[in-house]
Structure 1
Amino acid sequence: MRVSLKWLRDYVDVPLEAEELAERLTMAGVAVGAVYRPGREVAGVVTGRIERVEPHPNADKLVVCRVNTGDGELRQIVTGAPNVREGQVVPVALEGARLAGGAVIKRARFRGVESCGMLCSGQELGLDPKTMPPDQAHGIMVLPPDTPLGADVRPLLGLDDAILELDLTPNRGDCLSVIGVAREVAALLGLPLRLPETEVAAAPGSSLEGRVRVDILDPGLCRRYVALLFTGIKVGPSPLWLQERLRAAGMRPISNVVDITNYVMLEMGQPLHAFDYRALKDGHIIVRRAQPGETVVTLDGVERRLDPEMLVIADPGGPVAIAGIMGGLHTEVTEKTAEVLLESAYFNPTSIRRTSRALGLRSEASLRFEKGIDLEGCLAAARRAAYLVARLGVGEVVAGAVDNYPLPQERRVVVLRPERVAQVLGVDVPPQETRELLGRLGFEVREGEGRQMLVKVPSYRVDVSREIDLVEEVARAYGYQRIPATLPCGPTTKGFRTRRQELLRRVGGVLVGCGLSEVITYSFISPASFDRLRLPPESPLRKALKLQNPLSYEQSVMRTTLLPGLLEVLVRNFNRRVTSGAIFELGRVFYPKDGEVLPEERLLLAAAAMGQAASGWNRQPVQLDFYFLKGVLEVLAERLGLPALDYERERQNPAFHPGRAARVVAEGRELGVLGEIHPDVLEDYGLGARACAFELDLEAVLEMATREPRYQPLPRYPGVRRDIALVVPREVSCGEILRVIREAGGENLRQVQLFDVYEGRQIKKGYRSMAFSLFFQAVDRTLTDEEVAARVEAISAAAARELGAELRR
């Protein structure tokens, strides 16, 4: 929101300079981000009328103008502006004048013709080119024909003004108006507030009766609709002072009718809309939800498809505007418009926000409706517009108004306790001063029970509904700088991390130590992610929680797995030529619960890797593959004190390669899955490299983890190592063999390691040889060869019995 200091002084006599006022407002919670003085460098530029335009004798794109600046002398000025016409009143920079940016104008010759000055564009005077009419954006600025000649353009164009750019918090929608800011200034400085004139005499003998009808079919989305009628409309440019006010706020003047509606919106915070009355069927306004499949062509010339969640303004023939956002092209006010119906309404903020987002269409009006406007101000704003229509001679005001107000608002009354104010602020504000401060802000205060105050909230302060809100208002008006700084006091306790926090910290530390980088991805994902992962229709992971108001389709459901986010990170890096890397994420997933509003949240740990780790002069590159991530899991299990991990063949998860994936199990409990990502999934994501991943149920991992590490003394007795080679069917997994070996090996079997896998002519078809290194060691004695041989024999027998294995000789 941009506020002109000159405009602000129409309502309150501000004695401060712009910078000091900005500081006072910021300290009161109405932050001013910047102060601009658009014409501070401009000097010596006056108004002049172009009396003659002649071709340049030596240049096709230049013309020679004779300009009258009011002193009786016609000055010769050469220009290349494409919109120059005889009779125009324009800004003229004479010799010695200074423009925005500091350029000084001097006499010059252009292709042999002398030029005694310069015709100026708005941009050269420090005005925003976006606020200029299209035909003047790249040419000279054209002023109204009744502009006096020889006048300094600084006050005429507001170049002697200061502009305050407010950086408002979302709750202060009341300050999206000059009057709203003026209220704040008047309260802070203890000055009287002058409200704009709204009383206007209607045209004699005119009546609105029978000419305008307003029906509200959904009062929950439109709580009030006011309509006025103007006749005898003469559409044309606005006076210069009105254009200057709009430009100061960053808006482009269009025509007197449209400019009046924008002026009142900026002044009072109430968006208005003007319809060409004769384009409305029977003068009948219907406020309703859109019908399925309905469309409307908006003022920007775009046909927009509507849905039943959107509120529209319609006549009996169909939609004529999207409520609170943009009008329709069919009812646009043009130069042929003779009668105007003015709309001043209150629309539901949530409805406007959703419609605006769904259509990708935002406007100054929708911004104000989204934040909540003054429900009681609709009629006053309409009357203010009627006053300007009559004052500027734009048209005549028809007597009467249609005010459809199906849900009148009861002003809120909030109880305020003085002791609560003192408790929160840490300073004792006398009750009488509290009443005065709130009264200056527009609140009505009366006595309640005991020392309580009953505070009636003004209708324009939609953000105040609780006692703590009133405490904040007292603090703002009292002055934060008056609240003394104190040190907190009270008993202190030593902080510590819970067991869960310690374990989570350890998990992250272990993975970072293994060379992985932590990432954080969005909890919102695209439903298409489940298709990319090749999940079947019946997969429970597809039962995702849908967002009611998503930012986009790509973020419309809550994730049930961490894999999509990690794969998207790998793809983003790969597309930027970072083809190697290992990442992990500790994040929550969300599972809907039948009959309950809130979903089940579960903490998962997932990691993904591709490529190879960087090599060095003293080390070989390490492939970031299945075995790398398996090693990471083994280290994590050791550091968390988990039981030994087992790996069982995984063929059910379609996101992983069916022959290169395993279920991670500990003491018979499944913890997650580890494996290489399926090639089809990689193709769906557009990842041009092999990738591996694991995903663990971290809640289950933390339940099985031990908080403190356990130590045991170094063995005093030597161990014995034996090798055994088993010929087993190819479908028997290594995990199954390891389980049998550990069970049959007894308590003295300390380590088992696979060191060879062989298939060849010496092994019969359908079988393979797997060789294991066994290490036996007792804590109380040296084992004999007979004891070790007995254990090896037991292992061989168990493998033959349970797995159909044969001992390879």
Structure 2
Amino acid sequence: MLVSYKWLKRYVNLDDVTPEEVAEQMTRSGIEVDSIEKKDAEITKLQVGKVLSCEKHPDADKLNVCQVDVGEEEPVQIVCGAANVGADQFVAVSRVGGRLPGGMKIKRAKLRGVVSEGMICSLQELGFEGKVIPKKYAEGIYNFPNEYTPGEDAVPLLGLDDTILELDLTPNRSDALSMLGVAYEVAAIFDRDVRIPETPIQATERSSESMINVHVANTADNPYYGATVIEDVTIEESPLWLQSALMMSGVRPLNNIVDITNYVLFEYGQPLHAFDLDQFGSSEVSVRRAYDNEVMKTLDDQERKLSPEHLVITNGTTPVALAGVMGGADSEVSDQTGRVLLEAAYFNPAVVRQASRELGIRSDSSIRFEKGVDPNRVEASAARAAGLIQDLAGGTVLLPEAKVDELNRDETVITITLEKINSVLGTSLIVSDVLDVMRKLKFDVTENGETFTVNVPTRRQDIAIQADIIEEVARIYGYDQIPTTLPNTATTPGKLTPAQEAKRKARRYLEGAGLSEAVSYSLTTKEKEEALGFTDAESRVRVSLPMSEDRSALRTTLVPHLVDALRHNKNRNNYDVHLFEIGSVFHTSEAVITKQPDEKTYLSAAFMGKWFDHAWQGEVTDVDFFAVKGVLEGLLSTLNVENVELSPIEKEGCHPGRTAAVHINGEEAGFIGQLHPAVAKDLSLPDVYVFELQFDRLMAVSGGTVKYEAIPRFPSVERDIALVVNRDIQAGEIERTIQEAGGSLLKQVNVFDLYEGEHLEAGKKSIAFSLRYLDPAKTLTEEDVQAVHDQVLKAVHDRHEATLRQ
């Protein structure tokens, strides 16, 4: 919402308050002011000039040499290239030494040998946006519609002596979508009165209700419709003050009738529409739902196919307007209009919102009707517009208007106690403090002891419950005056939840390991997941109204998005990328969704390129399964997750020999592996390794008691053994057997070598282990170690038929 400070001052006395102070106090009170723009901040030496003569430049076809009266003894000569410049025009002239928006400085110049001492300006050059400039001045210079004194300051005439406040409104504050609504807000903040504009209408003997018959098919859709006939209007350019007000509000002036309806729209927040009564087609106004596939052409010259969900204004047979959204092209006001039918109505917000969304039309009118207009301003805004048309277009207003009126104009009544207000806000307000706030807001209130009964004006439709009244008290009393207090409930010191702490630990570890965190969309497609082997379509949740085909389902895994991120980097010549993400995935067991899906937290990572690259020492190591496995094991260790086992699996989309399931306490909690080379090739990627863990399950078993052991006082003994076993036996199985057989003296077992090849029987392999023995209470003797070591050798022989390699 753009608010003209000059316009706002017509309703509230702000002579002693600057726009900056208003912006500061409005922001403090809950309506944020995004920007403050002083329209004439960069303009100097801008005057009214009268073009006395205009002749073609002797050496340039597109230039004109003008003699311009600027209020001095002699006219100044200005060379102008605008095609619409001519004698006897009153124009805006920037004199030599003057400045224009954008930092342009006007200097004396010679154009093709002719001296030019100034610049005749267009509206664009004065800082107006092209979309708000009247079409007749879209190209060329601006001509004042009235005569002014040459040399007069042009800045106030053009409305440039103004400051524009841009409000960032929350959806509930629809009252501030009007100048009067903003005026009430500012008046409450600064404790001022609000001046309501008045435009008396001259009485006539005839009435609109004698000429127009209004019929509404369903008053739930349209509880109020008023039609006022205005005769003998003259269509012409609006006066400059009205054009300036609209342009400052971001609207292009068209003609006096349309400009007045737009002016009242911004003034009252009530949309109006003016029909050409002679083109309307009948004396009947009928409001109904559209027929299926009914077609009408709107003001933007687009043919719209309608449905029974849309409300239309008709002349009894043919639609002439889309109710609350946009008028029709066939009955719009034109230069030939002599009689106007002025519409003021209240439409059901839900009906307007649906039509606006389905037809893709977002207008100033629909925005206000969707949020709900003030029912007590509908007739007042029509009277205001009719009075302005009478004054500015010479119209004769026929009253009373023709109408259907079943509109509920009752105010909301809310009862609240002083104790309730103070308990919520943590304040010690007294009765007079609350009454003073209600007075500033212009709310009628009755007080009984410490109980307040508040009649909320219909202009504030955002206030419906006690909490809204408490918020108003806090806003106007001043958020900065509310004391700092502790909550009046039992409190505990703030700390991270176990889940938050686990996520933080995981992030810190992975970032320290050289991974970068990624954040991706929660929406995806089943094809993208199936391409990587995630084919569990039964657990996928599809979106009813997706924003695009690429965002048509909730994700069941994080891996595809991470792989997409790898592709994005690879396509930009960044080949060494290691990413992780902690995020939500969604699963359901229902074919037809009737309840919220299960939301789970997963932790996934994806790796490609080099894992280690030391250029000086010439060391280069590519990412491989074991590097990724090391990251995974380090992560689980950081989270204090124990009893972790990896077992080979075959997973669609992954390398058949380099993929393993991650088991925690015997239950599968994720997987680790390499993307299948064929899948990576289809994606134009090198070798890619990934892992994915169910983070919820990790959190359930992590965070156990950390046990600290003293540094051993006695030395350890290390023994290495190389065992020959069948090729299909896994090293992990042998390691577990060694641990069991070694008992309490065996502190550590590590695999350090694997050999397959000559000097071994076919189908055999050699696995070498390093064993460390330690007794924290004494120094181990050779006999102590040998006894346990023999148990280990016997156990691996009995269970795995392992023999020592000779």
TM-score, normalization by structure 2: 0.84
Aligned counterpart, 2:644? 645
Aligned counterpart in structure 2 of residue 572 of structure 1, from 564, 568, 574: 568
Structure 1 residues 148-297: aligned runs within 5 Å: 151-197=152-198, 199-201=200-202, 204-208=205-209, 211=212, 213-215=214-216, 219=220, 224-277=224-277, 284-288=285-289, 291=292
SS at match of 1:613: strand
Q: Structure 2 CA distance, aligned partners of 1:350 and 1:554?
A: 30
Structure 1 residues 672-751: aligned runs within 5 Å: 672-678=670-676, 688-711=685-708, 718-728=717-727, 732=728, 735=730, 738-739=732-733, 742-743=736-737, 746-748=740-742, 751=749
Greater shift in the superposed pair: 574-583 or 617-626: 617-626
Q: Structure 1 CA distance, aligned partners of 2:523 and 2:313?
A: 34
SS at match of 1:586: strand
SS at match of 2:582: strand
Contact (CA 8 Å) 1:719, 1:783: kept in 2 or not? Answer: no
> AA paired with 1:602?
K
> AA paired with 1:699?
D
> AA paired with 1:378?
V
SS at match of 1:615: strand
Q: Structure 2 CA distance, aligned partners of 1:768 and 1:319?
A: 88
Q: Structure 2 CA distance, aligned partners of 1:597 and 1:671?
A: 25
SS at match of 2:453: strand
Aligned counterpart, 2:456? 457
Q: CA deviation at 1:258?
A: 2.2
Aligned counterpart in structure 1 of residue 584 of structure 2, from 565, 585, 588: 588
Contact (CA 8 Å) 2:100, 2:126: kept in 1 or not? Answer: yes
Aligned counterpart, 1:773? 769
Greater shift in the superposed pair: 52-61 or 310-319: 310-319
Q: Structure 2 CA distance, aligned partners of 1:458 and 1:527?
A: 52
Greater shift in the superposed pair: 451-460 or 604-613: 604-613
Q: CA deviation at 1:581?
A: 2.0
Q: CA deviation at 1:694?
A: 1.4
Contact (CA 8 Å) 2:724, 2:764: kept in 1 or not? Answer: no
Contact (CA 8 Å) 2:214, 2:404: kept in 1 or not? Answer: no
Q: Structure 1 CA distance, aligned partners of 2:313 and 2:626?
A: 64
SS at match of 1:747: helix
Greater shift in the superposed pair: 790-799 or 671-680: 790-799
Q: CA deviation at 1:308?
A: 7.4
Q: Structure 1 CA distance, aligned partners of 2:531 and 2:223?
A: 46
SS at match of 2:613: coil
In 2 relative to 1, CA 580–319 (structure 1 residues): closer, same or farther, beyond 3 Å?
Answer: farther
Contact (CA 8 Å) 1:218, 1:289: kept in 2 or not? Answer: no
Aligned counterpart in structure 2 of residue 758 of structure 1, from 756, 766, 772: 756
SS at match of 2:390: helix
Q: CA deviation at 1:148?
A: 6.3
Q: Structure 1 CA distance, aligned partners of 2:279 and 2:15?
A: 48
Query: Unaligned stretches of 5+ in structure 2?
Result: none
Q: Map Cα deviations across residues 408-438 of structure 1 (whole Å, 9 max, x no partner).
A: 3542222222233334455543323422331
Q: Map Cα deviations across residues 197-249 of structure 1 (whole Å, 9 max, x no partner).
A: 255347643434574545465936x6655444445554332111100111222
Q: Structure 2 CA distance, aligned partners of 1:273 and 1:376?
A: 18
Aligned counterpart, 2:661? 663
Q: CA deviation at 1:362?
A: 3.8
Q: Structure 1 CA distance, aligned partners of 2:530 and 2:306?
A: 29
Q: Structure 2 CA distance, aligned partners of 1:697 and 1:377?
A: 58
Structure 1 residues 264-663: aligned runs within 5 Å: 264-277=264-277, 284-288=285-289, 291=292, 298-301=298-301, 323-346=323-346, 362-393=362-393, 395-401=395-401, 403-404=403-404, 408=408, 410-448=410-448, 450-480=449-479, 483=481, 493-525=492-524, 529-530=528-529, 532-533=531-532, 535-536=534-535, 539-544=537-542, 546=543, 554-555=550-551, 557-592=553-588, 597-616=595-614, 617-618=616-617, 620-652=619-651, 654-663=652-661
Q: CA deviation at 1:531?
A: 5.2
Contact (CA 8 Å) 2:526, 2:553: kept in 1 or not? Answer: yes
Q: Structure 1 CA distance, aligned partners of 2:533 and 2:318?
A: 45
Q: CA deviation at 1:288?
A: 3.6
Q: Structure 2 CA distance, aligned partners of 1:71 and 1:328?
A: 51
What is the aligned-residue identity percentage? Answer: 37
In 2 relative to 1, CA 323–510 (structure 1 residues): closer, same or farther, beyond 3 Å?
Answer: farther
SS at match of 2:632: helix
Contact (CA 8 Å) 1:527, 1:554: kept in 2 or not? Answer: no
Q: CA deviation at 1:669?
A: 0.4
Q: CA deviation at 1:70?
A: 7.9
Q: CA deviation at 1:140?
A: 0.7
Contact (CA 8 Å) 1:379, 1:403: kept in 2 or not? Answer: no
In 2 relative to 1, CA 348–517 (structure 1 residues): closer, same or farther, beyond 3 Å?
Answer: farther
Q: Structure 2 CA distance, aligned partners of 1:522 and 1:305?
A: 35
Q: Map Cα deviations across residues 584-632 of structure 1 (whole Å, 9 max, x no partner).
A: 2222223347686443222221111221235223573332343322211
Q: CA deviation at 1:360?
A: 5.9
SS at match of 1:252: coil
In 2 relative to 1, CA 798–403 (structure 1 residues): closer, same or farther, beyond 3 Å?
Answer: farther
In 2 relative to 1, CA 706–110 (structure 1 residues): closer, same or farther, beyond 3 Å?
Answer: closer
SS at match of 2:611: coil
Contact (CA 8 Å) 1:223, 1:347: kept in 2 or not? Answer: yes
> AA paired with 1:629?
V
Number of positions where the alignment pairs a residue of Structure 1 with one of Structure 2: 789
In 2 relative to 1, CA 94–401 (structure 1 residues): closer, same or farther, beyond 3 Å?
Answer: same
In 2 relative to 1, CA 578–70 (structure 1 residues): closer, same or farther, beyond 3 Å?
Answer: same
In 2 relative to 1, CA 661–398 (structure 1 residues): closer, same or farther, beyond 3 Å?
Answer: farther
Q: CA deviation at 1:129?
A: 4.2
Contact (CA 8 Å) 2:604, 2:690: kept in 1 or not? Answer: yes
Q: Map Cα deviations across residues 434-485 of structure 1 (whole Å, 9 max, x no partner).
A: 223313312111235x52111111111122223232233223333456x375
TM-score, normalization by structure 1: 0.84
Q: Structure 1 CA distance, aligned partners of 2:224 and 2:708?
A: 75
SS at match of 1:392: helix
Greater shift in the superposed pair: 702-711 or 67-76: 67-76
Q: CA deviation at 1:807?
A: 10
Contact (CA 8 Å) 1:38, 1:161: kept in 2 or not? Answer: yes
In 2 relative to 1, CA 628–329 (structure 1 residues): closer, same or farther, beyond 3 Å?
Answer: farther
In 2 relative to 1, CA 39–512 (structure 1 residues): closer, same or farther, beyond 3 Å?
Answer: closer
SS at match of 2:254: coil
Query: Unaligned stretches of 5+ in structure 1?
Result: none
Q: CA deviation at 1:576?
A: 3.6
In 2 relative to 1, CA 300–622 (structure 1 residues): closer, same or farther, beyond 3 Å?
Answer: farther
Q: Map Cα deviations across residues 702-731 of structure 1 (whole Å, 9 max, x no partner).
A: 222342233557586635432223334xxx
Q: Structure 2 CA distance, aligned partners of 1:722 and 1:81?
A: 97
> AA paired with 2:63?
L
In 2 relative to 1, CA 186–498 (structure 1 residues): closer, same or farther, beyond 3 Å?
Answer: closer
Contact (CA 8 Å) 2:270, 2:381: kept in 1 or not? Answer: yes
Contact (CA 8 Å) 1:230, 1:340: kept in 2 or not? Answer: yes
In 2 relative to 1, CA 156–706 (structure 1 residues): closer, same or farther, beyond 3 Å?
Answer: closer
Q: Structure 2 CA distance, aligned partners of 1:614 and 1:137?
A: 63
Q: Map Cα deviations across residues 509-551 of structure 1 (whole Å, 9 max, x no partner).
A: 3322322222333434456644554544x5234234x376x66
In 2 relative to 1, CA 785–3 (structure 1 residues): closer, same or farther, beyond 3 Å?
Answer: closer
Q: Structure 1 CA distance, aligned partners of 2:205 and 2:67?
A: 48
Contact (CA 8 Å) 1:717, 1:777: kept in 2 or not? Answer: yes
Greater shift in the superposed pair: 483-492 or 16-25: 483-492
